[in-house]
Amino acid sequence: MKGKLESSLIRGKIPKHIVIIMDGNGRWANRKGLDRVSGHREGMKSVKSVVKAARELGIEALTLYAFSVQNWKRPKGEVDSLMELLKQYLIKEANRLVEKEIRLNAIGRLTELPTDVYETLIETIEKTKGCKEMTLTLALSYGGREEIVDAVKKIISSWNGSHKDLNEEDFSQFLYTANLPDPDLLIRTSGEMRLSNFLLWQLAYTEIYVTKTLWPDFRRRHLIKALLNYQSRERRFGLTSDQIGKREVI
């Protein structure tokens, strides 16, 4: 049964692509007197809850910032635990993703992942490639600046046209996200007001929603609150309100 919050959603205004910076695992654990790995483990429950909710709410693409390039600098024990949690998630959730018609995708410098994790990731991507209801993208060993640098390298090595002809649409095709629409909504948990090197090109006109809720506490109701906030906004893409109104009438 739908709750009051969910009943308030306008189905025709559900964003197509939502991205989430999942922040606050460490603080959640610290507040409870637990180790950081316990926070990451609890955060996996939020991943499962939000993926399920997004699929049921009709969101076409969900991208989760799971592990940044900078995260490799964390203590080895924490990194090893994160990689194991990722591997176990992929193994345990593969069949459920297929059942729910969720295609798994991944972006980032994926070959930097441990071999066993990388192989499990590729196997899961292959297993779900025929799923069509939602695309779940995991950003792994990902950095926004690194993505742009990698795109430039690809252009230098393969672009056949004149540099004068290169436009934004062409450039976007060399990004990790070439097959995804630009995000409509960015959600950041834990109250931090920064992008943390995430999708720097793609977020140009994305609506941003920040909640103080720590990621391990984030569940379906919090996602719905973010969607309701999104639906209350007017997206102008650099235009004025009057121009938007005229365009809608046309």
Q: Which residues are catalytic?
A: 23, 71
* Paired strand residues for 19: 63, 186
Other beta carbons less than 10 A from residue 236's beta carbon:
11
The whole-angstrom separation of Cα 166 and Cα 178 is 15
Collect all residues with Cβ–Cβ distance below 8 Å to 63 and sequence separation of at least 6. Answer: 17, 18, 19, 20, 107, 136, 137, 138, 139, 180, 183, 199
On whether the CB atoms of residues 101 and 121 are closer than 8 A, the answer is no
Strand order, beta sheet including 102-107: 102-107, 134-142, 61-68, 17-21, 185-188, 207-210
